Structure 1
Amino acid sequence: MQGTVDGFSYGVVTPVAAYLMACLGGALGLRCIVRTLFNNKQAWKPGWLALGAVSIGCGIWTMHFIAMIGFQVEETRLSYDVGLTVLSLVVAIVVVGIGVFIVGYGGASGGTLSIAGIVTGLGVAAMHYLGMAAIQMDGSIRYAPGPVALSIVIAVVAATAALWAAVSIRGFMTSLGASLVMGVAVSGMHYTGMAAISVHLHDTTGGARTGDSPMSLLLPMLMGPVIFLVLAGAIVMFDPLLVTGDGDEGRPAAQRRRATAGSDAEPSAPRSSSPFEGFESSEGQPGSAGRRQGQYEASKSAYEW
C-alpha cells in the first residue's frame, strides 16, 4: 500500500525556520574559518576551526529535523530511533569538520576548496540520509535514484561555493551572503532528497494515523544543538581576543607587519631647510660661543653670496 506523504504539514513555518537555522550555523562556522585566516596566533586556530565545524554540523542537523517536524505520513505514526538520530549529528560534525580543517590549514587554492567542498557536501548528504534512516513507521521508505544524486550534487556545489566566498572575499555582506548560500545548500539538498522518497506501508488495512506528533518527539532533541548555536554566536560576536583589547588580532597580517615596522623605527625630528640649521644645537656647550659666532658669520656670508 502506498502511503500519503505530507512534507509541509505546518505550511511554510517549518521550511523557513529550518532555513534560518541552517543560515545561522553556516554564518557562525564560516566566520570562525575567516577568523583563523587573519589570526597570527596558531594556538587559537584548532579551537576556532573546531567551533566552526560544530556550528555548521549543528546548524545542518537542526535544519533537517526542524524540517522533519512538518513531515508526516497520513496512514501511520512516525517515531525516531534515538541512537541513529544522535549518530547523524555526530556524522555531520565529524565529516563537516574534516572539510573545515582542510580549508583552515590548506588555504583558498582551487584544489583545497574542491576537496573541502566535496567532503562538506557529502557530510551534509550523509547526515540527511542517516537522519531519514532513523524514522520508524509501519512501512518502508524508498528513494528514486535521480533526485538522490541531484541532492548530493546540490550539497557539494553549494558547500564549495560557500567555502570559497568565506575565504576569498572580505566584508560583512560577503559573510552574510556565504551563510545564505550554505543555507541554500542544506535546504536545497534536504527538499530535493525528500522529493525522491515514497512510502510503502506494511499494513494494508489502512487506518488513521495515531500517536505522538513528530514535534513532540523532535523538539526535546533539538534543544541541545539550538542552545549550542546561541552560545557559539555569543563567542563569535564577543571575540575574547578583542574583548581583552588586543584589536591587532582582527587586522590582516600585512597591516600588522607595517604597524610593527612603524612602531619599531625611532621617530626622527623633521629636518629644517634653513642654511643655518644646527647652530642652535651647540648652545650651552663649554667654549662654544666663539665658534658658534664665527660659523654663523661665515655661513651667512656664503649664503648671501
Structure 2
Amino acid sequence: MNQVEHFALGGWLVVLAYLTSAVGCTLGLACTLHARHAADTRSRLGWLGLASLSLGGVGIWLMHFVAMLGFETPGLPVRYDVRWTVLSAVLAVAAAFGGLLLFGVGARFSWWRLFASGLVTGGAVNLMHYTGMWALEIKGTIGYDAGLVALSVAIAVVAATAALWFTVAADKPLHRLAAGLVAGVAVTGMHYTGMAAMRVHLDISAPDPSGVEVFSFLFPVFVLAAVALAVPICAVLLAPAPGRRPRDERVAVPQG
C-alpha cells in the first residue's frame, strides 16, 4: 500500500502556499535592500534580522506548513513531531540570516557574494524542507528519490540567486516585487519537487504514529506568522526609502 495524497484540500492550497511564500520573500528582500544601504552595522544587522524572519519564517517555513495541510494518507493518521517542527522553523530563519548576511553585508555589489548567498539561501530552503519532513509521522516508512532531491536543491539555489540579483539590478518597486515572486517560485517549486521525490510505503499493521495533528497547532502558527509579517511591514513602511546607489555600484548591464 503506497497511496498518498498531496493535494487533499484542492488546488487552491497550492495557490495559497505560493502567495504565502511570495509575500514573505518579497518583504524579506525589501528588508535586505534596506540592509544594503544601512548607515551602520547595528542597523544593517537589524534589517537582516527582519529579512530572515520574513524570508525564513514566512516565505520558507510557513509556506511549507501551508502546503503540508494538503498531505494525507487516506484512511490512515498523519502526525507531526512538535520538536522537529519547531527546529525546522529555527533552522529556516537562522540559515536565511546566514545567506542574507553574505549578500547584505555591504552596499557594494559583488558577484562572489551573490553566488555564495544564493547557495546558502537556496540551501536554507532545502534544509528547512527536509528537516521539516523528519517531523512527519505516518503508518509506514518514507524514502526519497536521489535524482529528484538533487533537482529540488538546484531549483532552490538557482531561483534564490536570481531573486537576490533582482534586488540590486533593478531600482523600480515593480522589479523588486518580481524578485519576491521569483523567490516564491524557488520555495514552492522546491517544496513540491521534494514532495514528488518522496517514496512512501504505508503499512496498516504498523503502530499508530505519535505526535500531534497538524490542525491542532494551526492557530498558534498563524498568530506567530502574523507577528513575523507585521513587524517587518511596519519597519519598511516607516523607514525612509533606501538611498540610491552610485552608478558604479550598480550591476553592470551591457549596452546593446
Q: Is the 2:82–2:212 Cα contact (8 Å) retained in structure 1?
A: no
Residue 73 and residue 16 in structure 1: after superposition, are their counterparts in 2 closer, same or farther (change >3 A)? same
Q: Alignment identity in percent?
A: 38
Distance in 2, Cα, partners of 1:232 & 1:175:
20
Deviation at 1:76, TM superposition (A): 1.6
1:77 aligns with 2:69: no
- Kept in 1: contact 2:33–2:242 (CA 8 A): no
What secondary structure does 2:48 align onto?
helix
* TM-fit CA distance, 1:221: 4.5
Matched position secondary structure for 2:143: strand
Q: Deviation string for 1:173-231 (max 9, x for gaps)?
A: 111000000100000000001011121123359xxx99x99552351342244212331
Q: Distance in 2 between matches of 1:96 and 1:14?
A: 24
1:252 maps to 244
Aligned to 1:148: 149
Q: Rg: which structure is higher?
A: 1
Residue number in structure 2 paired with 1:246: none
1:52 maps to what in 2? Answer: 51
Change (3 A) 1:101 1:213: closer
The equivalences for 1:213-292 within 5 A come to 216-239=215-238, 241-242=239-240, 250-252=242-244
Give unmatched runs, 5+ long, in structure 1: 243-248, 256-305
Tell me how far 1:12 sits from its aligned partner: 1.4
- Residue 35 of structure 1 and its aligned partner are, at CA, apart by 1.1
Normalized against structure 2, the TM-score is what?
Answer: 0.87
Unaligned runs of 5+ in 2: 248-256
Q: With the length of structure 1 as denominator, give the TM-score of the two structures.
A: 0.74
Q: Given that residues 108 and 168 in structure 1 are in contact (C-alpha distance below 8 angstroms), is that contact kept between their aligned partners in structure 2?
A: no
Q: 1:220 to 1:179 in 2, by over 3 A?
A: same
Partner of 1:33: 32
Distance 1:85 1:46 in 2: 26
SS at match of 1:76: coil
CA distance in 1, matches of 2:35, 2:52: 13
Higher RCO, Cα 8 Å, sep 6+: 2
In 1, the alpha carbon distance for the partners of 2:197 and 2:2 equals: 14
What is the root-mean-square deviation of aligned Cα atoms in Å?
2.4
Q: Would you identify which runs of 4 or more consecutive aligned residues in structure 1 move more than 4 Å? A: 212-215
* 1:133-172 correspondence to structure 2 within 5 Å: 133-172=134-173
Equivalence for 1:284: none
